[in-house]
Structure 1
Amino acid sequence: MEHDLVVFVPGFLGTRLYRDGQDVWARCSERLIDSAATALTEAALPPGLGDAMPDAPHRLDAGGLLQVPDSVPGLLSCLGYPDLRAALGDPPDAQFVPFGYDWRLSHRLVARQLKERVARELDRWRAEADARHPDRPDDPRVILVCHGTGGLAGRHYLECEGGRDTARALITLGTPQQGLVQAARVLAGKAVPGGAGPDGDMAARLNEALRAWALNLPAVAELLPNFRAVRVEGGARERTITQRPVPGVPSEAVQRMRAFQEEFRLACDRNGRSGTLPYEVHCLGSVDFPTPEALVLPAGPGGEGLADDLLGPGDGTVPRRSALADWTGTDPMLWTGVRHADPAGAPALRDTMLAVRRGRTPDGSLAGPDGIVLHFPRDPVAAGRPFVIELLGHDLPQRDLRTFMWRSGRVREKQPVVFEQYEPDRYRAELAAAPGRWVVEAEVDRPKGRDRRDVTVVAV
Structure 2
Amino acid sequence: MKHDLVVFVPGFLGTRLLRDGQDVWARCTERLLAPVVPALTEVTLPPGLGDAPPEDPFRLDADALLQVPDSVPGLMSCMGYPDLRAALGDPLDAQFVPFGYDWRLSHRLVARRLKERVTRELERWRGEVDAHYPEREDDPRVILVGHSTGGLIGRHYLEHGNGRETARALVTLGTPQQGLVQAARLLAGHAVPEGAGPGAAAAARLNEALRDWALTLPAVAELLPGYPAVRVEGKSRERQLTDGRYPVPGLPGDAVLAAIAFREEFRAACDEHRRAGPLPYTVHCLGSIDFPSPESLVLSSDGSRITGGLPGNGDGTVPRRSAVADWTGGDPMLWTDVRNADLASGHVLRDAMLAVRAGDPPAPDLAGGEGIILHFPRNPVAAGRPFVVELLGRDLLGRDLRTFMWRSGRTDKQPVVFRPHGPDRYRAEPEVAPGRWVVEAMVDHPKKRDRKDVTVVAV
Q: TM-score range by the shorter chain?
A: over 0.9
1:267 aligns with 2:269: yes
Partner deviation per Cα, 1:166-218 (whole Å, 9 max, x = no partner):
10000000000000010000001010123299721110110000000001100
Give the aligned partner of residue 420 of structure 1. 419
Does the CA contact (< 8 Å) of 2:37 and 2:209 recur in 1? yes
Q: Distance in 2 between matches of 1:356 and 1:229?
A: 34
Does the CA contact (< 8 Å) of 1:31 and 1:39 recur in 2? no
Give the aligned partner of residue 149 of structure 2. 149
Give the aligned partner of residue 459 of structure 1. 458
Helix, strand or coil at the partner of 2:341: coil
Cα-Cα RMSD: 1.3
1:111 aligns with 2:102: no
1:367 aligns with 2:367: yes
Q: Distance in 1 between matches of 2:215 and 2:344?
A: 30
The structural deviation recorded for 1:36 is 4.3
Helix, strand or coil at the partner of 1:225: coil
Helix, strand or coil at the partner of 1:295: strand
1:84 aligns with 2:84: yes
Helix, strand or coil at the partner of 1:344: coil
Q: Distance in 1 between matches of 2:177 and 2:148?
A: 9
TM alignment of 1:10-49, pairs within 5 A: 10-49=10-49
1:123 aligns with 2:128: no
Choose 316-325 or 19-28, whichever is displaced more: 19-28
Sequence identity percentage: 73
Helix, strand or coil at the partner of 1:189: coil
The structural deviation recorded for 1:308 is 2.5
Q: Distance in 2 between matches of 1:205 and 1:317?
A: 23
Partner deviation per Cα, 1:372-426 (whole Å, 9 max, x = no partner):
1000111111111111011111111111111111111223x11111111121011
The structural deviation recorded for 1:165 is 0.3
Give the aligned partner of residue 179 of structure 1. 179
1:445 aligns with 2:447: no
Q: Distance in 2 between matches of 1:327 and 1:310?
A: 26
Q: Distance in 1 between matches of 2:39 and 2:444?
A: 42
The structural deviation recorded for 1:368 is 3.5
The structural deviation recorded for 1:307 is 2.3
TM alignment of 1:178-217, pairs within 5 A: 178-195=178-195, 199-217=199-217
Give the partner amino acid of 2:447: K
Give the aligned partner of residue 255 of structure 1. 257
Choose 400-409 or 220-229, whichever is displaced more: 400-409
Choose 420-429 or 202-211, whichever is displaced more: 420-429
The structural deviation recorded for 1:22 is 1.3
Q: Distance in 2 between matches of 1:179 and 1:36?
A: 31
Partner deviation per Cα, 1:215-248 (whole Å, 9 max, x = no partner):
1100000000000110012433111111142110
Partner deviation per Cα, 1:42-100 (whole Å, 9 max, x = no partner):
00001100000011100111000000000110001111001111101111110100000
Give the partner amino acid of 2:193: P
Give the aligned partner of residue 326 of structure 1. 326
Q: Distance in 1 between matches of 2:5 and 2:34?
A: 42
The structural deviation recorded for 1:132 is 1.1
Helix, strand or coil at the partner of 1:33: coil
Q: Distance in 2 between matches of 1:171 and 1:197?
A: 36
The structural deviation recorded for 1:346 is 3.1
Give the aligned partner of residue 385 of structure 1. 385
Q: Distance in 1 between matches of 2:141 and 2:25?
A: 34
Q: Distance in 1 between matches of 2:309 and 2:59?
A: 35
Does the CA contact (< 8 Å) of 2:383 and 2:433 recur in 1? yes
The structural deviation recorded for 1:101 is 0.3
1:74 aligns with 2:74: yes
What TM-score does the superposition give when structure 2 sets the normalisation length? 0.97
Q: Distance in 2 between matches of 1:352 and 1:25?
A: 32
Partner deviation per Cα, 1:284-337 (whole Å, 9 max, x = no partner):
000000001111111126x53x22311110000000000000000010000001
Q: Distance in 1 between matches of 2:60 and 2:222?
A: 20
Helix, strand or coil at the partner of 2:436: strand
The structural deviation recorded for 1:342 is 1.2
Give the partner amino acid of 1:338: V
Does the CA contact (< 8 Å) of 1:17 and 1:63 recur in 2? yes
Q: Distance in 2 between matches of 1:190 and 1:72?
A: 13
Aligned length: 457
- Alpha-carbon spacing, 1:132–1:242, altered in 2? closer, same or farther (3 Å): same
Does the CA contact (< 8 Å) of 1:145 and 1:171 recur in 2? yes
Does the CA contact (< 8 Å) of 2:180 and 2:318 recur in 1? yes
Q: Distance in 1 between matches of 2:235 and 2:249?
A: 18
Q: Distance in 2 between matches of 1:198 and 1:234?
A: 30
Choose 414-423 or 204-213, whichever is displaced more: 414-423
Choose 198-207 or 314-323, whichever is displaced more: 198-207
TM alignment of 1:93-104, pairs within 5 A: 93-104=93-104
Give the partner amino acid of 1:420: R
The structural deviation recorded for 1:449 is 1.1
Give the partner amino acid of 2:352: T
Give the aligned partner of residue 352 of structure 2. 352
Q: Distance in 2 between matches of 1:268 and 1:170?
A: 14
- Alpha-carbon spacing, 1:369–1:183, altered in 2? closer, same or farther (3 Å): farther
What TM-score does the superposition give when structure 1 sets the normalisation length? 0.97
The structural deviation recorded for 1:6 is 0.3
The structural deviation recorded for 1:364 is 2.8
Q: Distance in 2 between matches of 1:299 and 1:447?
A: 47
Q: Distance in 1 between matches of 2:48 and 2:388?
A: 41
Choose 203-212 or 129-138, whichever is displaced more: 129-138
- Alpha-carbon spacing, 1:425–1:142, altered in 2? closer, same or farther (3 Å): same
Query: Gaps (5+ residues) in structure 1?
Result: none
The structural deviation recorded for 1:367 is 3.0
Query: Gaps (5+ residues) in structure 2?
Result: none
- Alpha-carbon spacing, 1:139–1:259, altered in 2? closer, same or farther (3 Å): same
Q: Distance in 2 between matches of 1:363 and 1:238?
A: 34
Give the aligned partner of residue 288 of structure 1. 290
Choose 198-207 or 399-408, whichever is displaced more: 198-207
Does the CA contact (< 8 Å) of 1:288 and 1:369 recur in 2? no
Q: Distance in 1 between matches of 2:39 and 2:22?
A: 16
Choose 179-188 or 380-389, whichever is displaced more: 380-389
Q: Distance in 1 between matches of 2:348 and 2:377?
A: 27
Helix, strand or coil at the partner of 2:307: coil
Helix, strand or coil at the partner of 2:403: strand
Helix, strand or coil at the partner of 2:31: helix
